[in-house]
Structure 1
Amino acid sequence: MDFFLAKVRYNSIFVVKYAGLINLFKYQTPSKYALAFRDTYSFINVKQIKLLSTALFALSVCVRITSLFYSEELRQVPNIMEYNISNLTQLTAYFCFIVLSTIAIRSKNWTITQRNLLTLAFTLFLLSITFFISYIYSQHNTRNTLTVFLMGVVMVSIFFSLEFKYIAILAVFVVLLFVIGMVVPSLSPIQGLFNVIAGVILAFVLYICSRYSYFFKSQHFIQLKQLEEKNEEINNLNRLKGEILAFVAHDLRTPLNNIEALSGIVIEEEYSNPKPEMQMILSAAVHAKHIINDLIEVVQEDRKPLQVQKTEMISYLERICVSWQSNADQPRRVELSANEKSIVASINATKFTRVLDNLIGNGIKFSPPDSQIQISASASKGLCTIRIKDFGIGIPEHLQGMLFDQFSKAGRPGLRGEKSIGLGLHISRQIIEQHGGRLTVESKENEGTAFTISLPVLD
């Protein structure tokens, strides 16, 4: 019983492999991708013609030059005249193929059929010349040695992607070469039969190898096309998501503005004794509006060119520090140190202030109330370097790699419960990159975090 089951299993595997081989013989690129595949690989085939022609032309030139130094010795070689004719034929033909392939590559007027016919002509010549060399070397009986001809068969199979009809033409041509090769020498019937058998075997090898090459190249091309289609679908979905998000954000901003304005009016009217609930409503509305502004900034695809102006960075940073010191719970919470008296750069002050406010605000959010935020500025090698350093809880190493991601998972509540949606640092890096600069981070847990901005300076 076990033997019977094993036999059935073996026969099933054989049938599957046989069916797969039959399918390989009949394989055609699916109609959806057929035209694009033919166009792409007809062009690639022409490039291969130029590559091989150039290499083989150079080899033929080397052979010709070498023969000049050993002319006396070569006269003793059998069939030297035929070798000489072969070399001159190769020099002429490969030069012509170099020219034709160059024209075909540069011209936009060549059709797929014209490129395929050029490929067919080159492969026919390659098989012919390798057969002829084998034919001479084997004393006009190619069955004796097939090394050079096999090289031609392998090159045609590997380097070129040929459709079924062209492979069939080449296979028939291989058999004809062996039949024609029996005309010149006087071979016995049995030798002639062996030559024909050798020709059929090589034609079959060429056919099988070419079909395998065609199949795998076609499958690879289809996978790339499907990947492009998937990427296009993803891009469309992302664009649609961005449009929906922008639409919702714009619609939410109007009622939030009303809530902010009305709560502000109520607080002003109750200036002497404002209700804490109204202050919470106002704070929540302002916070929600900031989130919406961040969302709108992120989903914007058509960004306008950044409007920049020449700015003296030291005095600009001093104003930023004064603004934060006046709003902080304790004085001199944000301090500036600079080695240079003046650093000039081109910035968009509004956008750049947003970045600095975000970085300073992050430092305060994750630092104890009595700690300082240090800002340093320096200029070196054409770059202005601004460093914002806090002495807070730091960032775990496993979170640092995704710190600047959109909707980053590295977002954490602040020490006093401040929330984060993971957009601030992403937007900050975008703004710095729009300025032609870089934003990087260094951090150690329980030792603090330092964000470094690098910008081009003006002379």
Structure 2
Amino acid sequence: MKKAGDTANGTFLEKMELQVLRLEKLIRDLLEITRIESGKLSLHPEPLPFKEFLEQIISDLQLITNMHQLILTENSVLTITADPTRLTQVITNLVTNAVKYSPEGKKVEIAAKEENGFMICSVKDFGVGIAANEQSLIFERFHQVAGKNPNAGLSLGLGLYIAKEIVEEGSGKLWLESEPNKGSIFYFSVPLT
């Protein structure tokens, strides 16, 4: 039989673990910024069957995202040339942002298709959206959309900057479409093999 103190201690430990994970992410992001700024962001591209790769990432992220359903709406059979570790970092950032900034939304839609020699991947949320005057700033270091989701957690506004640098280093592009209170769609492109 559990005692009240055991439950309180368990809750306290869970909160501590969450804070440690957040601090660990901040430290990793700051290290990434240092690599980017010193020109030492290294990619190790390889041929990558993207369909299975994306399915695995979405499956893994669904395990830690219980409030939103992650839905693959289109996932063409494509082989791309990319660094799997860095690409995982980009997709994870876009999906976790979509969840974080759509607290009332119940789903996030992910799609991948071929277009003009590139794989175009999109992550669509049904959340707070981003005003037109903020959209040009969203990929800058330390930029955060002010006051959009106070429950979004501790962040320095580095994730999208890092994702953009990774995608561009791999000869791709990262962009968005968004409307306040209707959600956002983030896209990135990667060359096909």
For the superposition of Structure 1 and Structure 2, which TM-score range results when normalised by the shorter chain? 0.7 to 0.9
Counting aligned pairs with the same residue, the percent is: 26
What is the CA distance between 1:411 and its match in structure 2? Answer: 5.5
What is the CA distance between 1:289 and its match in structure 2? Answer: 1.4
1:431 is aligned to 166
Q: Does 2:40 match 1:303?
A: yes
What is the CA distance between 1:410 and its match in structure 2? Answer: 3.4
Aligned equivalent of 1:337, options 69, 73, 92: 73
Deviations 1:179-235 (CA, angstroms, capped at 9, x unpaired):
xxxxxxxxxxxxxxxxxxxxxxxxxxxxxxxxxxxxxxxxxxxxxxxxxxxxxxxxx
Aligned equivalent of 1:322, options 59, 73, 84: 59
What is the CA distance between 1:278 and its match in structure 2? Answer: 2.3
What is the CA distance between 1:286 and its match in structure 2? Answer: 1.5
Q: Distance between the aligned counterparts of 1:411 and 1:426, measured in 2?
A: 16
Moved more, 342-351 or 319-328: 319-328
SS at match of 2:137: coil
Q: Is the 8 A contact 1:395 1:443 kept in 2?
A: yes
Q: Is the 8 A contact 2:129 2:181 kept in 1?
A: yes
Q: Is the 8 A contact 1:386 1:454 kept in 2?
A: yes
Q: Which amino acid is 2:66 matched to?
A: D
What is the CA distance between 1:274 and its match in structure 2? Answer: 4.1
Q: Is the 8 A contact 1:413 1:420 kept in 2?
A: no
The 3 A distance-change label for structure 1 pair 449 and 278 is same
What is the number of residues matched between the two proteins?
Answer: 187
Q: Distance between the aligned counterparts of 1:423 and 1:309, measured in 2?
A: 26
Q: Considering only CA atoms, is the larger Rg found in Structure 1 or Structure 2?
A: 1
Q: TM-score, normalised by structure 2?
A: 0.88
Q: 5+ unaligned residues in a row in structure 2: which ranges?
A: none
2:87 is aligned to 352
Q: Distance between the aligned counterparts of 2:170 and 2:147, measured in 1?
A: 28
- Higher relative contact order (CA closer than 8 Å, sequence separation 6+): 2
The 3 A distance-change label for structure 1 pair 278 and 391 is same
Q: TM-score, normalised by structure 1?
A: 0.38
Aligned positions of 1:29-428 closer than 5 A: 274-300=9-35, 301-303=38-40, 305-330=42-67, 333-338=69-74, 340=76, 342-410=77-145, 412=147, 414=149, 416-428=151-163
What is the CA distance between 1:449 and its match in structure 2? Answer: 0.3
Q: Which amino acid is 1:396 matched to?
A: A
The 3 A distance-change label for structure 1 pair 376 and 425 is same
Q: Which amino acid is 1:287 matched to?
A: R
Q: Is the 8 A contact 1:442 1:450 kept in 2?
A: yes
Q: 5+ unaligned residues in a row in structure 1: which ranges?
A: 1-269
Higher strand share: 2
The 3 A distance-change label for structure 1 pair 271 and 430 is farther
